[in-house]
Structure 1
Amino acid sequence: MKIQYGCAPINWSNDDLPSLGGELTYQQCLSEMALSGYTGSEGGIKYPKEFEVIKKAIDLRGITICNMWFSTEFTVFNNEDTFRRFQNHLDYTYGLGARVVGAGECGVTIHGDESIPLFKNQVILDERQFKNLAEGLNELGRMAHAKGMKLCFHPHAGTGVETKEEIDQLMEMTDPETVFLLFDTGHLTLAGEDPVAVLEKHLDRVAHIHVKDVRRHVYETVKEQDMSFLQGVKNGMFTVPGDGDMVNWDGIFDLIKNSSYDGWIVVEAEQDPAKADPLEYAMMARRFLREKLGR
């Protein structure tokens, strides 16, 4: 294995809800990642957009930007604008060290709307939308490959691709040479799936990994009280590996240890930093990963 460990700034400030951790600086975020033993960070809304500013900040701390979320809009057929934005995204993130791009479909989504209950409003894509999504991802995959990067599709709660069946369908409809999977333990758990089964089936397509756990009592409250995704986040639905109680980590890590996976494992939590000190939880997760994977 050639695994590197990163941490997402979403643990300090949430891209979908910037008011969480809005008072924390990007310098603190990056410094605490480095202090916790991570060498990679994902991009985030808190980070400066000016290339030279963020490049200097990460270089000072020995951090690489290993991935930065990209929103596709193929389910609303906004293809040309998506292609244009993606090329700019490739150029920017490549210069910061990223060799993968995690893309999530946001043309039709409910995950960013606090007023919409998550579990009663699952997004269902029609055949035409799904076909355009697959074809669009194939084109993005070719663009990424030409840049020396990998496109990784990120199934996400509240979007049209989150269940095992939907992931299976998308993997079948896309080019295995250029379209890869971003494996996320937390979102698969929210979708009611077994992350171990998904990883076992698609391990050869996985090029980037997000690890987070789910607190069962909050998950059940979100379902029972018809709460939105963001309400769940604010109430502590997610946490870091080593703290939650829904993900089968031994099953996940056994598969990874017995594979030839070559890439990043990135810790996420999506918690309110006023309730869960980001440094404490980043360090907790790093210890857990070291115990389970040996480094």
Structure 2
Amino acid sequence: MSNGNEAGDRLRVGSAPDSWGVWFPEDDQQTPWQRFLDEVSDAGYRWIELGPYGYLPTDPHRLRDELARRELTLSAGTCFTAFHRGDVWEQTWAHVRQVADLTSALGARHVVVIPEMWRDPASGEQLEDRSLGDGSWRALGTGIDRLAKALHEEYGVHLQFHPHADSHVDTQQHVERFLEMTDPELVTLCLDTGHISYCGGDNLELIRKYPDRIGYLHLKQVDPRVLAEVQEQDLPFGPAVRRGVMCEPPQGTPALEPIIEATRGLDADLFAIVEQDLYPCAPDVPLPIAKRTREFLNRCGAGAR
């Protein structure tokens, strides 16, 4: 592995509540937020995401104090949207502006936007059709462009769109269709290496083909053996995670060192947030994984920043 630090100098490495088994604002199975903050700091990370709005304190003064005493800084807020459903602007903006208020108050400049899934993330229940018609695609693109413009104009933050398993923007074909229909000046990707691989895509090809649209990274890997079972059985994403489809690096795919290397050629100063889906997990599971993953990324050339 590379011992150079050029890519590391351009990657601000952090982690997220997801790596501590957090999917919801409140859930008895999840790691308490105080323990998450303590442990993510102990693992050597200095950047974190909000996770689901309401998991961490939503009072900006309190959250700023909690992060500062652990030497942590916020990289981004996170939210889900469903613009493919049509006239959903008012309820979407009401939620997103809460996230943007808190994100910008903490000095972060990114909001990661994930498309709502067609299967429930916890139960796996099918909620809507797997595929979108042309009209729904147009509504999705128009809504994301409008949201990106509003976030930029009102909060000075950048929209990072996150393709996701069991959503309508999942496969390489769908990711590229989304990129071709949205405003390149406003909308960039949160390239989640695990979700792209989970859905059969090629992370390096997306970086090569759309270098100006890569604005943020989520680093994770999938276990090919478990993924084969998931595909054979058409398992929903939640049950797949419980089987361990998202695994600790470097045990899975894609290889992360070439992706980190590829960021050298990007005209961007990127966040690289470790996000290993672990919902649900035992309380003592996340910290050792987080420490080993941090050491692995150091060896890959993604140095501490």
Taking structure 2 as the reference length, what is the TM-score of the superposition? 0.87
Of residues 179, 187, 199, the one that matches 1:191 is 199
Report what 1:49 is aligned to. 58
CA distance in 2, matches of 1:137, 1:282: 32
Of residues 257, 281, 285, the one that matches 1:277 is 285
For residues 140-163 of structure 1, the C-alpha deviation after alignment (integer angstroms, 9 at most, x for no partner) is: 111122222111111000111011
Q: Is the 8 A contact 1:111 1:157 kept in 2?
A: no
Q: Does 1:35 align with 2:45?
A: no
Quote the offset at 1:113 in angstroms.
Answer: 4.8
Letter in 1 for 2:292: M
Determine helix, strand or coil for the equivalent of 1:69: strand
Report what 1:12 is aligned to. 20
Determine helix, strand or coil for the equivalent of 2:218: strand
Letter in 1 for 2:148: G
After superposition, where does 1:23-172 map in structure 2 within 5 Å?
Answer: 24-45=31-52, 46-77=55-86, 78-106=88-116, 109-116=118-125, 123-146=130-153, 147-172=155-180
Quote the offset at 1:111 in angstroms.
Answer: 4.7
CA distance in 1, matches of 2:272, 2:43: 14
Of residues 229, 238, 246, the one that matches 1:230 is 238
Quote the offset at 1:18 in angstroms.
Answer: 6.2
Please identify runs of 4+ aligned residues in structure 1 that moved more than 6 A.
Answer: none
CA distance in 2, matches of 1:25, 1:81: 28
Determine helix, strand or coil for the equivalent of 1:210: strand
Specify whether residues 90 and 162 from structure 1 end up closer, same or farther in structure 2 by C-alpha distance, changes over 3 A only.
same
Determine helix, strand or coil for the equivalent of 1:68: strand
For residues 61-109 of structure 1, the C-alpha deviation after alignment (integer angstroms, 9 at most, x for no partner) is: 1111211211112111212221333233212211123211110121x52
CA distance in 2, matches of 1:227, 1:164: 20
Report what 1:200 is aligned to. 208
Report what 1:212 is aligned to. 220
Quote the offset at 1:41 in angstroms.
Answer: 0.9
Letter in 2 for 1:94: S
Q: How many residues align?
A: 290
CA distance in 2, matches of 1:13, 1:97: 25
Taking structure 1 as the reference length, what is the TM-score of the superposition? 0.90
Quote the offset at 1:48 in angstroms.
Answer: 2.5
Letter in 1 for 2:47: G
Q: Is the 8 A contact 1:16 1:112 kept in 2?
A: no
For residues 110-169 of structure 1, the C-alpha deviation after alignment (integer angstroms, 9 at most, x for no partner) is: 15152448xxx9821111111111111111111122222111111000111011111111
Determine helix, strand or coil for the equivalent of 2:210: helix
Q: Is the 8 A contact 1:240 1:268 kept in 2?
A: no
CA distance in 1, matches of 2:28, 2:211: 33
CA distance in 2, matches of 1:249, 1:174: 27
Q: Is the 8 A contact 1:152 1:179 kept in 2?
A: yes
For residues 168-213 of structure 1, the C-alpha deviation after alignment (integer angstroms, 9 at most, x for no partner) is: 1111111111111110001111111122112222221111100000
Q: Kindly report the root-mean-square deviation, in angstroms, between the aligned alpha carbons of the 2 structures.
A: 2.3
CA distance in 2, matches of 1:59, 1:282: 20
Structure 2 alignment gaps of length 5 or more: 1-8
Letter in 2 for 1:177: E
Specify whether residues 175 and 156 from structure 1 end up closer, same or farther in structure 2 by C-alpha distance, changes over 3 A only.
same
CA distance in 1, matches of 2:10, 2:301: 12
Specify whether residues 197 and 18 from structure 1 end up closer, same or farther in structure 2 by C-alpha distance, changes over 3 A only.
farther
Determine helix, strand or coil for the equivalent of 1:134: helix
Determine helix, strand or coil for the equivalent of 1:175: coil
CA distance in 2, matches of 1:213, 1:40: 20
Report what 2:272 is aligned to. 265
